[in-house]
Amino acid sequence: MKPNFKSLKEKKSTKELLNFSIINLDKPSGPTSFDVSHFVKKLTGVSKTSHLGTLDPQVSGVLPITLGRACRLADYFMHHDKEYIGIMRIHEKVSEKKLKEEMKKFLGKISQLPPLRSRVKRAFREREIKLFEIIEIDGKDVLFKADVEAGTYIRKLISDLGEKIGGAHMLELRRTRASVFQEENSINLYELEKVFKEYKEGNDKELRKVLIPAEQALSEVIPTIQVKELSIKQLLTGKPLMKTDLISPLPRAEKIALFFKDRLIEVAKKVEEKDIIARPEFVYN
């Protein structure tokens, strides 16, 4: 049973929302992800912001920004699939049939070596390509769509494809989905500045629409479970979770979000320690 997040949002003040929410931002090409996160921090006045999954400066699209204490939840969103739409330029003339055949060979588990300019250790790592298809072809420019495991380098994917077809490089790239955050529900920097201007002038209606309660977003990536009211006080001090604390059945997932009605208590990781069934990783006290 999922909590009533509409009710939760209505009960919270705008200030409370700002300190524990996520903004689904549409990043423009040009600034770094850090620059955008810092801009949002200055605009909102919150103590801390962080972005969920780095986008290269020249790449645009979905870049969720966590606000305040929601930054501590970032890791729960980072390791989910991403979706992209981009344009690649092929260097030699290749039939559509041949191109489709070669792209199909990249589906499933592949091994990738991060680019020289990346900040991660340069070692081969396995990533899964779930979708890699052509949308449209215009001469040597190919509009494509890719649905991939987090941590996949799309530019490298195109470069590796190019080795099979006489060369290819990426011209443009846009992220259309990151974890549960979709392009159609995102807001650009201009629109965000506008709603904050209205907020500072006393009208918070549009800003409240933009702020996604962190509890709500969390429930989309981690199973939720209800706990007894009598257990709340001890759980908020870090007490391990026992079966006797639960109202609803324990899900099979490794991580669980504990709620009492619409109130987030903690995120816990399951363990097998006699009567202890989970230990807290994040406590919302």
State the catalytic residue, choosing from 56, 81, 147, 160.
56
**6: number of Cβ within 10 Å:** 11
Helices 154-165 and 96-104, axial angle in degrees (round to 10): 130
Query: To 5 degrees, how large is the angle CA 206–CA 209–CA 214?
Result: 140
Amino acid at 117: R
Do the Cβ atoms of 16 and 208 come closer than 8 Å?
no
Do the Cβ atoms of 154 and 146 come closer than 8 Å?
yes
Helices (DSSP H) in the chain: which residue ranges? Answer: 5-11, 14-18, 33-44, 74-78, 96-104, 154-165, 189-200, 205-210, 214-219, 232-235
Assess whether 81 carries a catalytic annotation.
Answer: no
Residue showing tokens 């969103």: 77
- Of 66, 62, 63, the residue nearest 50 (C-alpha): 66
Catalytic residues: 56
